Amino acid sequence: MRVLLVGAGGVGTAITRIAARRSFFDHMVVADYDLARAEAAVAALGADGARFSARRTDASDASAVAALLTEERCDVLLNATDPRFVLPLFEAAAEAGAHYLDMAMSLSKPHPERPYEECGVKLGDAQFERAEAWEKAGRLALVGMGVEPGLSDVFARHAADALFDEIDEIGIRDGANLTVEGYDFAPSFNIWTTVEECLNPPVVYEAGRGWFTTEPFSEPEVFDFPEGIGPVECVNVEHEEVLLVPRWVDARRVTFKYGLGEDFIGKLKTLHALGLDSTAPVTVATDLGPARVSPRDVVAAVLPDPATLGDRMTGKTCAGTWVKGVKDGEPREVYLYHVVDNEWSMREYGCQAVVWQTAVNPVVALELMAAGTWSGAGVLGPEAFAPGPFLDLLTAYGSPWGLREQ
């Protein structure tokens, strides 16, 4: 297997460090708009970097990326960029006849009249519209294969297959006790993506009603996270799992709630009130004359790069799937989860916990694809595949998952 990895930021760099320890691929091309960043990711591997090379590419240019896929004879494109570039990279893989894998799906657009009641364009709609073409081409687009979405969806499928006869609700619950020394506000993940998912109308799924939306940060609840993280208030947030799980798993309700905290929510609300969450360019006077910039890009530019925060960060992050239903005629409630301690991920890989936890899952999926254990054609989510091999391999990577009876 030859892999084109597009994006050499925090998650992309973590992918290279995880993949370097595995033998399932022949070569990985690390491509980024900033060639120096791609070269740094490869150079950091040292002697383990023999199967890696660095190239420059523009993720917004589908034709250029398709040409790079062909030139480098890559079998699969792994997208480690932010969601703005999902569609051009998705299209590039299709044009080049390669398989495709991402960790976040094509962007949504709120309903123009009823944004907090009805869905407009949903996350992933633009990709699922192409499902038939991918199926006819005999190529696999494995979408939403990070940690959330990704591992959380694998957990949902495992619960449906092995733990329940009927499922009332599947709720993704994400929480952490991470702190960053020296910063009042330092998100542990890409701020562009964080703003997008937190300020868009959250989506909820209910059988018989389908998908609908609510107000941002709605339905607060306190969820007790395992391994010493403890109780964290979680709120509804727009996320891909709610759009993916019901396509393959029978559940009466599906939700996603994120443990953000009152202070974080307050700062996001302030960004929104000031219009600093907008992606529409505005004209700004500079020493070199007027410039057109996106307010959200300015926010991202002034905040620290999450990938650089590991040395200042302490604590753990938890991604998991809470499931409530019936097994053998008795009510059952479980939480399937994956916890990463920042001290461990920094010591073992030199990557902070959140980016490492995101990065390990697409590498596991690639290994299953290379072995033919996971195969198919079309646009498919993680729920479309047998969960057992994935969960076993994740444990073999040295990062076991857990199950807690509620």
Parallel/antiparallel/unpaired status of strands 99-102 and 76-79: parallel
Examine residue 149 and say whether the peptide bond preceding it is cis (omega within 30 degrees of 0): yes
> Which tens digits make up the pLDDT trace of 225-279?
999 999 999 999 999 999 999 999 999 999 999 998 788 888 888 988 999 888 8
CA–CA separation, 142 vs 311, rounded Å? Answer: 33
Mean pLDDT in residue range 13-22: 98
The SS3 of residue 29 is strand
The band of 306, judged by pLDDT with boundaries at 50, 70 and 90, is confident
Describe the chain by its helix, strand, coil percentages, rounded to 5: 40, 30, 35
Are 36 and 370 contacting, i.e. CB atoms less than 8 angstroms apart? no
Label residue 325 by pLDDT band (50, 70, 90): very high
Find, among 402, 364, 353, the residue nearest to 21 by Cα: 364
- Look up the pTM and report it: 0.93
With 0-12 / 13-18 / 19 or more C-beta atoms within 10 angstroms meaning exposed / middle / buried, residue 64 is middle
Distance CA 387, CA 361 (A): 12
Mean pLDDT, range 102-111, rounded to an integer? 96
pLDDT at 188 (0 to 100): 74
Predicted local distance difference test score (pLDDT) of residue 27: 98
Name residue 322's beta-bridge partners.
Answer: 171, 335
Q: What is the pLDDT of residue 79?
A: 98
Q: Are 83 and 58 in contact (CB under 8 A)?
A: no
State which amino acid sits at residue 257.
K
SS3 (DSSP) at 229: coil
* β-pair partners for 256: 172
pLDDT at 192 over 90: no
Q: 20 falls in which pLDDT band (50, 70, 90)?
A: very high
Question: Residue 183 — pLDDT band, cuts 50, 70, 90?
Answer: confident
Cα–chain center distance at 54: 23
- For 212, counting Cβ atoms within 10 Å of its Cβ (0-12 exposed, 13-18 middle, 19+ buried), the class is middle
pLDDT in tens, 116-173: 999 999 999 999 999 999 999 999 999 999 999 999 999 999 999 999 999 999 999 9
- Beta bridge partners of residue 180, listed in sequence order: 313
- As to burial, measured by CB atoms within 10 angstroms (0-12 exposed, 13-18 middle, 19+ buried), residue 366 is buried
